[in-house]
Structure formats: structure tokens, C-alpha cells
Amino acid sequence: MHSQLKSLIVASSVIFLSGCVPVIIGGMAAGGYTAARDKKFGDSINDSKIDVAVKNRLYKISPQLFSEVSAVCDENCVLLTGAVSNPEWVSVAERETWMVDGVRVVYNNVRAGSPLSIGQVTKDNLITTSCKSTLLCTSNVRSINYKLKTSDRVVYVRGLARSEDELAIVLEKLKGVSGVKKIVSYVRVMKNERT
């Protein structure tokens, strides 16, 4: 309990020290997120349905598989991360994800090995918070267009960059965040659109 409180204090400090106060207003930030990304409400509901369906399939295979794999859906693309104690579960997680209606792409980054400890998951969450704060405070970057997930110090970046230059800035900034071991980008670049 003490270490969780300490982690929460550290995460709050990161936000306050970043100078980006809007991050703190969780409800407002979340409310503006969908509108700022021009994502339709129906698309968000569909992604949520896919999220739930994937997690249900994993749980039915094994509650342990469910606990060792993280599945996140955005624009019908599912990002799988985590470490599984049973090597066969790497392919099982992908297979079960593809069986969900509406899934367009599966990014399978699940690895076989020791499951992540609670301590590592906490550190990963802190890295994600730091990365989000960094992008929020970077000029010429529309941070709302990027979704981040950290697993075992690897930061997975998804979303839509307004240009190749913006994407280069994003990746460079994320590399500089303390604790980041590697960046994996699944970012698409807008074509023939105004920035």
C-alpha cells in the first residue's frame, strides 16, 4: 500500500512539474479528447465493444491469460502487450483477438516469459504518464492524436500524425523520457490534409 501511495505521489508530481495544468482536470480532458480527435462517438462505442469482447475471450481461455495480457482497441485496431507464463498463449491471444467481429488489425507484442510484476506495471504507468505530459507540453505536436501504452518499459505509440516532421518530433521526445527502453510506433501519417 505504501509503495502504491508513493507511486501516486510521484505521478502527480510529474504532472505538476510539467507545467501542463490541463492534464489534471481529468473529466474535462477526457470530455475534450473525443471531440479534439474528430472521432465519432459511435466509433468509440465500437472500440469499447471490441475491447470487452477480446477480454472476455481471453478470460474464457484462462483467467491467468486474461491477467497477463493487456488488450487495447482504437479504430478497430487491437494492441496486445504483456508477458505470458505459457508460451502457447502468445499465439492464442492473437487468434482469439482475430475472432472478434470488427477487428481490423492486431498488433501482437505479447512475449513468453515471466509475467510483469506489480512494481513493473506501476513503473510502466508512470512512464506512460510522463510520456503523455511530455507530448502535451511539446509545441507543434497535437498530443491528443496519440495514444500511448507502456509494457516492460517499451512505449507503444498509436494514432495519427499531421506530418512526418511531427512524427519525428514525437518519437524523439518520447526517447528522452526517463525509463523508456524502446519506442514502437504504429502511427499513421495524414495524407494531403491540412495541419
- C-alpha closest to that of 173 among 189, 188, 155: 155
**What is the C-alpha R_g of the chain?**
17
Which of the four pLDDT bands, split at 50, 70 and 90, describes residue 190? confident
pLDDT in tens, 117-156: 999 999 999 999 999 999 999 999 999 999 999 999 999 9
Mean pLDDT of 72-94: 95
pLDDT for residue 141: 94
**Helices and strands (H, E) in the chain, number of each type:** 7, 6
- Give Cβ neighbours of residue 133 (< 8 Å, ≥ 6 apart): 14, 15, 18, 20, 23
- Percent of the chain with pLDDT strictly greater than 90: 71
- C-alpha closest to that of 145 among 33, 48, 51: 33
pTM score, two decimals?
A: 0.75
Q: Which amino acid is at 35?
A: A
pLDDT for residue 34: 40
pLDDT for residue 23: 40
Dihedrals phi, psi of 155, to nearest 5 degrees? -100, 125
pLDDT for residue 4: 47
Q: Which amino acid is at 101?
A: D
pLDDT higher at 174 or 30: 174
Q: Which amino acid is at 15?
A: I
Domain boundaries along the sequence of the chain: 2-36+117-189, 41-112
- 41-112 classified as CATH 3.40.1280.10: no
Mean pLDDT of 44-53: 91
**19-28, 53-62, 114-123, 153-162, range with the lowest pLDDT:** 19-28
pLDDT for residue 40: 56
Dihedrals phi, psi of 159, to nearest 5 degrees? 135, -155
Structural contact between residues 54 and 78, judged by C-beta atoms closer than 8 angstroms: yes
pLDDT for residue 164: 95
Using alpha carbons, list the distances in angstroms from residue 32 to 79, 86, 93, 111, 180.
Answer: 23, 40, 33, 35, 28
Q: What is the mean pLDDT of the chain?
A: 83
Which of the four pLDDT bands, split at 50, 70 and 90, describes residue 42? low
- The length of the chain in residues reads 195
Structural contact between residues 97 and 103, judged by C-beta atoms closer than 8 angstroms: yes
pLDDT for residue 110: 97
